[in-house]
Amino acid sequence: MKYAHFVMKILVIGSGGREHAIAWRLARDSGKPEIFCAPGNAGTARIATNVAISAEDVPALTAWAKQNRPDLTVVGPEVPLCLGVADAFVAEGLRVFGPCQAGAQMEGSKAFAKEVMTAAGVPTAKAVICTDVDSAMSALRDFTLPVVIKADGLAAGKGVVIAQTRDEATEAIREMLVDAKFGKAGSQVLIETFLDGEEASILALVDGEHAVLLPSSQDHKRAFDGDQGPNTGGMGAYSPAPVVTDAMLPKIRDRVILPVVRELKKRGIVYKGVLYAGLMIGRNGEINVLEFNCRFGDPETEAVLPRIGGDLIPALQACIDGTLSEELVTVRPEASVTVVVAAAGYPGSYEKGMAVNGLDEAEAAADAVFHAGTKVKDGAVVTSGGRILTVTGLGADLRSAVDKAYDGVRKIQIAGSRYRTDIAHRAFDRAPSC
């Protein structure tokens, strides 16, 4: 008797480089799942079936899922999670990897996250939460310079200002509270003590009680070489980040991730999915939390997921089932570097519809080319966003991974595009032999 082979059906929600990387990694699992991406991009279209539904259209996503019954849904961006897409899917009996709406507040509200951290005893900067200019100006007097001003809600990674002067701090407060630069996201602000050190990212898989840390990484937020220019959604990343030593990892799990998971559980929130800790590592190895995110990072995901060996789907399933264990995650020894190719003008205004050439050559030179802001028009790939592509290279060490990533980047031809040439520079400044 012949038995039909079960092919798992997976929906990935989102359209960026992170979602392409998730789909790419899941497609490499031994079960060879059938993958759908909503809405996806020109890159995901090559390995999955794109579904023309916005990642933020929760009713339409839910309706599609009810009809098509994916065996697993992986949510990429923070906005649909904060809108309650996981809750909507669970209500329909669907399995979804990503926190409920209440848990997503860890990213959706910096004030909520700060309150949870304080209650859980997680090391973080002193902060005052303000909803009007007068109270903010009064609170500002108690902080030394530089001082950090944060919009409470989602601001696409651009709602944080490190003010070097009182005038800069005042301007940032007025832009958020008076001018509504970030809309509702800036209706309250956090004034925080500036923490000195080196930033790093830790993505943890969480099943409501247990946590497994994925390899460390470090993002590059500034637009230009030497960490100059405005903040962006991220211009590149690398993994591992040498600033995070092996000895720190148990401390991060036990003093940062698990206390938050337990505090949320006390509040009736069973957190399942990725809990992303943005950390500041001090000169003496002290660890403080800058922020939490409720999903895979971008572009960190493009650097981290290629380092995960074996099958990834069982670990995601275990997060849903509450059966997560270290044995379900295998880390490859290679280092990984991801470089973002961006449109001219990004993160400000930029043109769309530019032709994207050299993709096959780039994929041959590097290990992966993940599409971030692309679409297919008249059979050709064109740009549709500020961050266009992320090119990832793997190597025995960071130097070789950097070389491979840039070998791929140099094959890409997009009019006016640019990229940083110094991704992973902090690792080399720290330890030139990396």
Structure tokens that stand for 298 in this block: 């971008």
Residue 216 DSSP label: P
Between 222 and 433, name the one with better pLDDT. Answer: 222
d(Cα 6, Cα 294) in Å, to the nearest integer?
31
d(Cα 9, Cα 357) in Å, to the nearest integer?
32
pLDDT single digits (tens) 252-308: 999 999 999 999 999 999 999 999 999 999 999 999 999 999 999 999 999 999 999
Residue 433 is predicted with a pLDDT of 56
CATH of region 9-98: 3.40.50.20
Residue 402 is predicted with a pLDDT of 98
Q: Summarize the confidence of residues 317-342 as an average pLDDT.
A: 98
Query: What do you get for the CA distance between the two ends of the chain, in Å?
Result: 55
Residue 320 is predicted with a pLDDT of 98
pLDDT single digits (tens) 128-152: 999 999 999 999 999 999 999 999 9
Residue 3 is predicted with a pLDDT of 43
Residue from 353, 273, 374 nearest 15 by CA: 374
pLDDT single digits (tens) 28-41: 999 999 999 999 99
Please give the share of the chain, as a percent, with pLDDT higher than 90. Answer: 92
pLDDT single digits (tens) 195-213: 999 999 999 999 999 999 9
pLDDT single digits (tens) 160-194: 889 999 999 999 999 999 999 999 888 999 999 99
* Single-letter code of the amino acid located at 266: K
d(Cα 202, Cα 199) in Å, to the nearest integer?
10
Residue 432 is predicted with a pLDDT of 57
Return the CATH architecture of domain 132-187.
2-Layer Sandwich (3.30)
Domain ranges in the chain are 9-98, 132-187, 198-430
Contact between residue 141 and residue 152 where contact means Cβ atoms under 8 Å apart = no
Of the candidate ranges 152-156, 199-203, 408-412, the one whose mean pLDDT is the lowest: 152-156
Average pLDDT, the chain: 95
The pLDDT-based confidence of 6 (bands split at 50, 70, 90) is confident
Contact between residue 35 and residue 47 where contact means Cβ atoms under 8 Å apart = yes
Going by C-beta distance under 8 Å and a sequence separation of 6 or more, which residues neighbour residue 140? 147, 166, 169, 170, 173, 191
The pLDDT-based confidence of 429 (bands split at 50, 70, 90) is confident
pLDDT single digits (tens) 83-111: 999 999 999 999 999 999 999 999 999 99
Helix 110-120 to helix 258-266 angle (10° resolution) is 100
The pLDDT-based confidence of 1 (bands split at 50, 70, 90) is very low
Superfamily for domain range 198-430: ATP-grasp fold, B domain (3.30.470.20)
Task: Say yes or no to pLDDT of 241 above 60.
Answer: yes
The pLDDT-based confidence of 159 (bands split at 50, 70, 90) is confident
Q: Summarize the confidence of residues 7-14 as an average pLDDT.
A: 97
Q: Summarize the confidence of residues 379-392 as an average pLDDT.
A: 97
